[in-house]
Each structure stands twice: as C-alpha cells, then as structure tokens.
Structure 1
Amino acid sequence: MDQSYRVMLVEDDPEQRANILEALESKDLLIEAFGLRPQAQSRLDQQLPDLLISDIILGDEMDGGFDLARHLQTYQRPIPIIFLSERQSEFDIVAGHDLGAIDYLPKPISLAVLKRKVTNLLRLTQNAPTLNNKTTFIENLMLDPQTFKASWHQKPLNLTVTEFEMLEQFATHSIGSVISYQDLQAATQGVVERNTINTHICRLRQAFKKITPDFDLIHNVYGRGYSWQSPKK
C-alpha cells in the first residue's frame, strides 16, 4: 500500500486486542482500538474508518458488533467490515453479511491470516478494477473484486469474502480446468484449511442453488480439487 488507511478495531478482550494491534502494526495503517460499542460508536460519529474490524460479543452486549454495524449503515457510505467471532452458525454468518460484512473470521483467529486479509482488502477496495462478463469464463456470472460482490443470472449471491475468493478461481480459469486444493487455499490467504474446503464448496453450491435450484456445475475431481463444468445440454 502506498497510503495510510484508517482502521477501527473493536475487541473487548484486552489481550486479544493487544495481540491484534501488534500484528497489524504498520506505517500504512492508522489503527484506533476500542473495547466496547459505545466508545467506538462515538468515534464513528466523529470520523469514519476505511475498515471496521469487530468482535460480535462486546462486554455484556451479545450483539454489540452487529449493533455497531447497524449504526455504521446510517451513514450510507460503504465501509467494509470484518467480523471476528466464535459464533459460527449459518444464521450469524448470514446476519453479519446482511449488515455489510465482507468477511467473517472464526476465533481463535490466525493473526497472520488477518493481517494478510486486511492488507489485501484495503488494497483491493481502493484500487481494483471491476471484473465482469468480459473477463470471466463463466456465463451469467459477474464478479466485482472492488466490493467482493457476485451475481448469478443478474441476482446477487450471498457470499463471504473467502467464498468469493474461491469462486474467483473458477471464474478466471477456462471451463473444465481443475482448481487444486492448494490453489483454493492460496486464494484465501490460508484462511481455508485443507479439511474444510469441502464445507466452503458446499456453501458456494448452496448460494447458487438459492437462485437456480438445479445448479450442479461445481464438480469434485477426486484427489485433485474441483472444476467448473459446462451445463448439460
């Protein structure tokens, strides 16, 4: 990065907050850290960050991070959000994305992965060109790396950033190409473990099936990875 970005970190555990601050320390990042929602929300009223990183449970507020995201929405300016949480139910993950999250990382978090995510995210959201049907090999799929949004048959796909990164691998390779397990892991900066790739692929398939219920284009290539196949005639 060739400029400074303002990051707000909201984490109620002092030790975890200190560890994240140390991991993200960089001349390119201006980080303000808070332990509870009210203090963070007051700061938002003064100045908006380029990125919000927040736990969901903040002190006695079980949905403190979600409430902070709702407050952020009132400014009607797109601010990317990364939620960090032990809560990993589909309900919580979907709720987080409905509130504007572009990633939802499980605790205990990998500090190295978080740092890479933050660096790449800020670079991409500031500088990335739009990827559309002219540069994707998949018909009826549109991707926008600038916002990490995707649409299928002109309807939005509900994806995490991790799932978007995996989908982008299929979209930028020719139909039928095998995307290896290693490629999928590398695309997510190591967030995805080898033994959880299938879970993420299942979530990808489900996202497509919500739009086209008969979707069956992502195929497992035993022992190698996955491939995107042409629809059957």
Structure 2
Amino acid sequence: MRKIHVVTQKEAVDEQKLAGCTAVVIDVFLATSTIAFLLTNNYEPIYTVKDSEHALALASWLEEPYILLGETRGKCIEGFQYPDPCLIKFVQEKKAAIICSTNGTRAIESAKKAKILYISSLVNGHKVAEHISMQTDDSSIVLICAGNDDRFSMEDFVGAGQIIDRLLKGEEYALSDAAKLARDTYLSSSAISFRNLLDCETASLLRSFEFENSMDLVIEHHEKVEVVPIFKGNKVVQELLPTGERST
C-alpha cells in the first residue's frame, strides 16, 4: 500500500529522502495557483527560481520570448510583474515565464530531487491527484506545503488535504498523522466554501498589499483549472497523458 506524507512547510523538507518519492509542492496563495493559470493561458515552459537575482540571470541568456514575474515577502519587485493570477491573460503564441517567490518557488527548489515532482493548488489538485493515481509504482507520496516564510500556512495544508481526499476516492493509502489531519481540514474548509482561508495569515498579508481579488479568484476556481504542472528538465511543463496528449 502506498504511503502519503505531508510536510507542513518547505523548511522541514529532507531533500535526500525525496529521491525515490512522488512529491507535490503546494502554495495556494499564490505561486502554484499562478503556475496553473500560466499554463492554461499558454505560458510554457515555466522556469521557477528562488529569487530575483536568479530570475534576472536566467532572463539574460534565455532566447525565447518570456514574461518575468516575482515578489519578495509579498512586495512587488521592480521590473517584475506581480505573480497575481488575476493579471495573467491568454497569449496566442506560446511564451515562457520566469517566476520567483518567497515561498512557492523556494519549495519547488527544495523538492527537485524527488523522483517525480508535481505542482498543485486548489484550482488543479483534482487533476494532479488523478495523475498520481495512474502511477504504476509504489513510491511514497510526499505533499509539501510551502508555508509562509518559515511558518505553517493553513491554505497549503488544505491544498494537501484536497489531493489526499481525491486519492482516497480511488483506492486505499497508508496515511501519516499529518495526512489524516490535512484531509479532515480540507473537508471542513470545503464545507464552508473555503471562507476560512480568507482569514488565514497569508490572506491578511495579501490584503495589506491590496491583492484580495487574487484569493477570491483562486477559491472561485476550485477544481476548475484542468492542467497538471510537472517539473522536468529544470522547468515546469504540462504533464502528458499516456497517449501523448495534453491533460485537459
């Protein structure tokens, strides 16, 4: 029976233990939600880096068209578009994206040694769970909550619970204590349409920077974004189905 573990913040990740695991990084407000919206709006590949210095270094040699998105501790970075999903518009011609953030992209950085690495949020967690359920191996599943600058984040824990709840609808898994609690937390939050997430610590921070609409957008798009972001070759792309078709 496959095991499901939940790491409640990126700082607790043991990179060496991820080597044979399927990992999922979750940063609901906002980085992994933004990544899902970027993919569905024809931005691909997506390069995730830990800070603006690395983003600018990557941009200096990238030859393909791109957009540059980033924030630090919730604040805008000069020369970068804020990684707000409300600001992402569909582009006719595919374009790359470079994104850095205080928590989400750093969490991805910490999880790169995983056997398989998915990116998830409340908007697309159902699709990520679907793809995990199609795996034929017995690797442990590690759900990594990005957290909030070395602190626990309720919204990421709820996002982890979403994946667990979806997986359990198909078969049995061995859950860690944190995984059991994450699922219960997701079900409780879902029952009240995730209104409690608007009172979480990250929500207060985003509200102070006038990004409340971003949180509303994420909640309104619960399980409505049909993409499966996967980290391959040092970039995030859409996962391919076994037939070779894109996830839709």
TM score, norm. by length of structure 2: 0.26
- Pick 1 or 2: higher relative contact order, CA cutoff 8 A, min separation 6: 2
Structure label with greater radius of gyration: 1
